[in-house]
Amino acid sequence: MQSFQQYINGQFEDASAQFESLDPATGQPWALMPEAKACDVNRAVEAAHCAFLAPEWAGMTASARGKLLLRLADLIAENAQVLAELETRDTGKIIRETRAQIAYVAEYYRYYAGLADKIEGAHLPIDKPDMEVWLRREPIGVVAAVVPWNSQLFLSAVKIGPALAAGCTMVLKASEEGPAPMLEFARIFDQAGFPKGVLSIVTGFGADCGSVLTSHPKVAHVAFTGGPETARHIVRNSAENLASTSLELGGKSPFIVFDDADLESAANAQVSGIFAATGQSCVAGSRLLVQNSVKEAFLEMLKAKAEACVIGTPDDMATEIGPLCTKRQRDMAQALIARSLEQGAKLVTGGKAPEGAGYYFPPTILDCSAARDAECVTREFFGPVLSVVGFDTEEEAIALANDTAFGLASGVFTRNLTRAHRMIRQIRAGIVWVNTYRAVSPMAPFGGHGLSGHGREGGLAAALDYTTVKTVWLRTSDDPIPDPFIMR
């Protein structure tokens, strides 16, 4: 089996232990991964702390940091094929998606390369005539980043890019499920020429790796993408070091279709929103809210498109639906569907894992109009399962859309411009897509509220999350400071 190493302080090395990584297409082990323990994590954080203070990084100009990020972007583009193949092998994401996504990941690093020397302070029009006061934006310190297995290269880019542009250093924990692409990324990062310790990449399990990293006293900020339960542990850990946090925690996103929408366009967007990446996306449009006057016609369109999806091995360019990343995800999907059917949901298509090797699961549609509280409607889980609820009025659509503890993404399909604006104002979500879905850009902030977390990734907002404000007072008068005990 292929063997991977961790990357600490500019060195590739074996970890304290190893574990097997399973190929989701076969369910069989294919590689040995480094299992970082507390001692490994501590060394990585100490290296990041030293690098943060060292003149090689701390004294580097913002423009020079940008040039390093630009070099990194070029190297990612050059190595996109290798990275895509590893992500497909280790996570089950189909090759046609990993190739396209990784090519775009390079654009995120290019964006932050250009932003590095544009993180500006401010001059304050202070109310004291003999003072000049200004604000400096300075890097917050050592960042602990934790990313999940789905889209690791993208989800790490929206952390590494802004953090390094701001002048921070970072220790990144790759997911123990499918870490191969991030460990290969470390080799590309090493070639870019950053000073040692600026970025270390490890992988491992909760108590021995993740908890040690997020509670480390020299970590100033924790950037996490994952589920609410793990986020709660991270927030508790941050009580130890009082680190600030940015949390992107997924959602149960409403996909709203009105009867005046272009139904063919909406259907294609819905298929992309829930079945792309085999439903393993934090912005998956997993709750379809469709106006009852077009509900049956729209469901027929979706059913036909779902059943036409090509299920196959993820390394085949013809495949449209690959396996889920883990057996646990597949079993959870199967169990959740069974419970939802017992709660009154009706199966439209799919619903049962095929026989044979691998963690495959078909595109599944459940009509929950008579079971709006079914578990599949309310619970977030990664899988190609769409829950459908009908509505009659715009007011009802808003109420259904906001009937969730999450608040990450949403989609609205309508030709009515004034209605679209009303929906934008009233939907409680960090992202509202109108007549499109899953569009992203390095320039656009990405994030939510409620159980979807806080903070933003992408755009200038992300870079500012990795800075702290220093207020500078400069007295401009040459007169002696008056005696403080003589009141004037």
Eight-state DSSP code of residue 174: E
Beta strands in 114-236 (DSSP E): 122-124, 131-139, 142-146, 169-174, 199-203, 221-225
Q: Which of 46, 97, 248, 320 is catalytic?
A: 248
- Crossing angle of the two packed helices 95-115 and 80-91, in degrees rounded to 10: 130
What residues contact 348, with CB distance under 8 A and at least 6 apart? Answer: 299, 302, 303, 365, 366, 367, 388
Strand order in the sheet with 346-349: 346-349, 364-367, 385-391, 287-291, 254-257, 411-413, 433-434
Active site residue 248: yes
Radius of gyration of the chain (CA): 24
* 83 within 8 A of 170, measured Cβ to Cβ: no
Phi, psi at 435, each rounded to 5°:
55, 30
Tokens of 70: 């630009």
Whole-number Å distance between alpha carbons of 70 and 265: 36
What residues contact 91, with CB distance under 8 A and at least 6 apart? Answer: 24, 149, 150, 152, 177, 178, 181, 325
Strand order in the sheet with 122-124: 122-124, 131-139, 467-475
Beta strands in 184-301 (DSSP E): 199-203, 221-225, 244-248, 254-257, 287-291
Residues making up the chain, counted from first to last: 488
Whose CA is closest to 217, among 246, 239, 245, 247? 239
Which residues are catalytic, by number?
Answer: 248
